């Protein structure tokens, strides 16, 4: 039996809100949601407002929580019950650059789901009692994150990569900032960021575009096309540095990072390929050399995070005290080797891993809907699978090697450690080792969005 092909359709309302659907005839459910191009990095004060430091830290995440805590037409319990009564589920998530509200339901309940999405965005109540209760929930969430070492070390990393900037702060906020928020603070943040031109509604699965678009237009067509108050646009400034915290743990958490490339840079795919080669699985360089051959850690992986105007490339590992002194010199040596040589077989393996992950990821309607939304918000269009595979196919060993040279030797490293840190290589020694191993071919290019 041959399955019918999926069909992606995109339209736009008069208020600028983009609507996208991907009909999948072989599916019997719908994953839909609303995504806003605003996250924790947008927590600065409005343009022209007096600076108040970090007073908005955590407001994007609190707003996401409060969306389900009652509207003018529904209580918090009624919102949850309405979806669960028909067997669906509802959730939301806040990131650095986006916030998403999503629902999964059966096709017969599409009107209900669209109505609830419209309700939480256009008529949130922000009841004072509910707000105080939800603050306590988030304070518990902050406490749980602080008790999770791998969460803490990643927060350390971003704080040192982008010190004093919203993008470098933990998404959850701090107990002090979260406790300070009032209903009007949430309304003000919505007025600045929750407008038609800054939002995308997406549905994926057993859905027809005309039906979904009509329901979204009815519920969200009244949103303004532009914000009442413009938020200040602040470009990020990568700095790097050292952030170590001593804590009595079984394993010490370590991350070394470097300034990466933006999500529109020509090296975007090469950066992901390099992360795969270095730490993308059991066959990767770092796993084989540091974990398998030397037994210096239990886990090790590489990652590349790309944002609108910056990025972060990093290696994360966890090790016991016995391997601490030897681990960092070996890791730094492997980074230098990547800058001097990339093997074609490694490239092909990494390319296959990325392509397989792309294809497998699209089998989830929810993941596909989120991917469509993100591409529209940051690119203005959706790349086809064929276009992405062509970009991957064009990545060469020379490009990846050149990228490694620029990544590892043209930006000050950021280093984060949590646990037993007494025998760790000093930060100055890390920087000196990177300088000593720098290839002569390393260029001065930075990783900014391409025009």
Q: Alpha-carbon distance 344 to 420, whole Å?
A: 38
Map residue 290 onto helix, strand or coil. Answer: helix
Helices (H) and strands (E) in the chain, counts: 16, 11
Domains of the chain: 7-220 (3.30.830.10), 241-436 (3.30.830.10)
Q: Alpha-carbon distance 423 to 420, whole Å?
A: 8
**In terms of Cα–Cα distance, which of 245, 241, 182, 185 is closest to 45?**
185
- pLDDT for the residue numbered 6: 84
Map residue 398 onto helix, strand or coil. Answer: helix
Is the Cβ–Cβ distance between 354 and 273 less than 8 Å?
yes
- pLDDT for the residue numbered 327: 95
What are the strands of the beta sheet with 99-105, ordered from one edge?
Answer: 7-12, 18-23, 199-205, 30-36, 99-105, 89-94
**In terms of Cα–Cα distance, which of 63, 86, 338 is closest to 192?**
63
Q: Alpha-carbon distance 292 to 312, whole Å?
A: 26
Map residue 204 onto helix, strand or coil. Answer: strand
Q: Alpha-carbon distance 360 to 382, whole Å?
A: 18
Q: What is the enclosing helix (H) or strand (E) of 417? A: strand 414-419
Q: Alpha-carbon distance 56 to 40, whole Å?
A: 9
For the chain, the residue count is 451
**Max CA pair span of the chain:** 65
Is the Cβ–Cβ distance between 200 and 377 less than 8 Å?
yes
**In terms of Cα–Cα distance, which of 262, 415, 399, 257 is closest to 335?**
257
- pLDDT for the residue numbered 235: 85
- pLDDT for the residue numbered 447: 42
**Active-site annotation, residues:** 64
Q: What is the pLDDT along the chain (451 residues), one digit of tens a residue?
A: 334 578 999 999 999 999 999 999 999 999 999 999 999 999 987 655 555 556 899 999 999 999 999 999 999 999 999 999 999 999 999 999 999 999 999 999 999 999 999 999 999 999 999 999 999 999 999 999 999 999 999 999 999 999 999 999 999 999 999 999 999 999 999 999 999 999 999 999 999 999 999 999 999 999 999 998 887 767 899 999 999 999 999 999 999 999 999 999 999 999 999 999 999 999 999 999 999 999 999 999 999 999 999 999 999 999 987 888 899 999 999 999 999 999 999 999 999 999 999 999 889 999 999 999 999 999 999 999 999 999 999 999 999 999 999 999 988 999 999 999 999 999 999 999 888 877 765 544 444 334 3
CB within 8 Å of 115: residues ≥ 6 apart: 215, 219
Three-state SS for 24-89 is: CCCCCCEEEEEEECCCHHHCCCECCCCCCCCCCCCHHHHHHHHCCCCECCCCHHHHHHHHHCCCCE
- pLDDT for the residue numbered 269: 98
Q: What DSSP assignment string belongs to 103-147?
A: EEE-GGGHHHHHHHHHHHHH-B---HHHHHHHHHHHHHHHHHHHT
pLDDT in tens, 46-94: 655 555 556 899 999 999 999 999 999 999 999 999 999 999 999 999 9
């Amino acid at each position: 039996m041959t399955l019918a092909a999926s069909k992606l359709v995109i339209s736009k309302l008069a208020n600028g809100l983009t609507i996208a659907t991907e009909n999948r005839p072989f599916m019997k459910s719908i994953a839909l949601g609303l995504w806003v191009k605003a996250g924790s990095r947008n927590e600065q004060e409005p343009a022209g407002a007096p600076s108040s430091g970090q007073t908005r830290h955590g407001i994007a995440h609190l707003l996401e929580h409060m969306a389900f805590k009652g509207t003018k037409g529904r209580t918090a319990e009624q919102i949850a019950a309405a979806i669960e009564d028909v067997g669906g589920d509802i959730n939301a998530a806040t990131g650095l650059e986006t916030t998403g509200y999503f629902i999964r339901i059966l096709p017969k309940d599409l009107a209900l789901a669209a109505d609830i999405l419209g309700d939480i965005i256009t008529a949130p109540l922000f009841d004072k009692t509910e707000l105080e209760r939800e603050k306590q929930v988030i304070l518990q969430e902050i406490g749980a994150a602080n008790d999770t070492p791998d969460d803490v070390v990643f927060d350390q990393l971003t704080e040192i990569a982008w010190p004093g900037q919203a993008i470098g702060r933990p998404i959850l906020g701090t107990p002090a900032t979260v406790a300070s928020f009032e209903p009007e603070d949430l309304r003000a943040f919505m007025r600045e960021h929750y407008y038609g031109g800054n939002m995308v509604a997406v549905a994926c699965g057993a859905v027809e575009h005309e039906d979904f678009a009509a329901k979204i237009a009815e519920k969200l067509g009244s949103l303004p096309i532009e914000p009442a108050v413009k938020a200040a646009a602040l470009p990020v400034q990568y700095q790097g540095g050292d952030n170590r915290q001593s804590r009595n743990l079984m394993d010490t958490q370590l991350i070394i990072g470097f300034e990466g490339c933006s999500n529109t840079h020509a090296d975007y795919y090469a950066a992901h390929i390099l992360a795969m080669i270095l730490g993308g699985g059991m066959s990767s360089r770092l796993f084989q050399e540091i974990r398998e051959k030397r037994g210096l850690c239990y886990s090790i992986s590489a990652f590349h995070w790309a944002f609108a105007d910056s990025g972060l490339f990093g290696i994360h590992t966890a090790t016991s005290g016995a391997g601490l002194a030897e681990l960092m010199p070996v890791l730094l040596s492997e980074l230098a080797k990547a800058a001097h040589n990339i093997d074609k077989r490694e490239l092909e393996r990494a390319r296959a891993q990325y392509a397989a992950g792309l294809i497998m990821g699209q089998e989830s309607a929810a993941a596909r809907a989120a991917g469509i939304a993100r591409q529209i918000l940051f690119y203005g269009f959706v790349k086809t699978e064929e276009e992405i595979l062509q970009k991957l196919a064009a990545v060469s060993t020379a490009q990846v090697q050149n990228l490694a040279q620029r990544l590892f030797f043209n930006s000050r490293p950021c280093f984060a450690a949590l646990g037993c840190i007494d025998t760790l290589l000093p930060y100055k020694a890390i920087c000196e080792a990177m300088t000593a191993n720098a290839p002569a071919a390393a260029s001065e290019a930075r990783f900014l969005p391409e025009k």
